[in-house]
Amino acid sequence: MKRVNDIFYSLQGEGRNTGRAAIFIRFAGCNLKCPFCDTDFSQYEEMSDEDILNRIKSYSSHFVVLTGGEPSLQVDRHLVNLLHSHGYELAMETNGTHPIVDGIDWITCSPKGNTVIKRCNELKCIFEETTQVPDDHGICAEYKYLQPCDVQDAERNAQIVKRCFDYILQHPEWRMSLQTHKLVGFK
């Protein structure tokens, strides 16, 4: 059984797949306690892999984003094989501190803590008020993104975005990723 915080259908709001229709499976629980985390893990539903499959079948897209919390704590070979056998493409958003089961089609790593993964498709580092040089944790990635941290204060957020913008102009190997779902008001 998996602890699932939420399953919903929306557009991917961040990174390389921004704007793409996606089914989000948000797993409850994480091994870290990041102060800017936007997920309440106290509410979840126990679901079997088959329950998850049955819940997502009604959506038009076959692009599934496994997120959390930390999805690598719960996503296993059986779930990956089951979803692949029904034609789903799987993306995972991870903090990189736990091994990832083989078969994930797209890995986005937002590294925090002691990372164990060394490669991903997309690296997304949070650019905070105090960031001088982003810490990529030595992870190799096809795409490298900086995401300005949302501190829930418009003036401070604007300063963080400006600093991030200026940093990328000086370090063009990075791209900016904004949380477009928050900017336009969708889930």
| Catalytic site includes residue 130 | no
| Catalytic site includes residue 140 | no
Around 134, how many Cα atoms within 13 Å sit in the side-chain half-sphere? 28
| Catalytic site includes residue 94 | no
CA distances from 102 to 17, 72, 173 (A): 21, 11, 28
| Catalytic site includes residue 37 | yes
Task: Determine which one of 18, 39, 131, 180 is catalytic.
Answer: 39
Task: Determine which one of 34, 40, 153, 165 is catalytic.
Answer: 34
- What's the rounded Cα separation, in Å, for the pair 82 and 106? 17
**Apex CA 103: angle with CA 110 and CA 25, to 5°?**
60
Task: Determine which one of 8, 36, 37, 135 is catalytic.
Answer: 37
Task: Determine which one of 51, 84, 136, 181 is catalytic.
Answer: 181
Residue 98 backbone dihedrals phi, psi, to 5 degrees:
-135, 140
Residues 6 or more apart whose CB falls under 8 angstroms from that of 178 comprise 14, 147, 148, 161
Contact call for residues 73 and 29 (beta carbons, < 8 A): yes
Contact call for residues 2 and 67 (beta carbons, < 8 A): no
| Catalytic site includes residue 150 | no
Specify the 3-state DSSP secondary structure of 13.
coil
Task: Determine which one of 27, 63, 70, 93 is catalytic.
Answer: 93
| Catalytic site includes residue 24 | yes
Task: Determine which one of 30, 125, 149, 164 is catalytic.
Answer: 30
Task: Determine which one of 24, 27, 63, 127 is catalytic.
Answer: 24
| Catalytic site includes residue 125 | no
| Catalytic site includes residue 164 | no
- The residues annotated as belonging to the active site are 24, 30, 34, 37-39, 93, 181
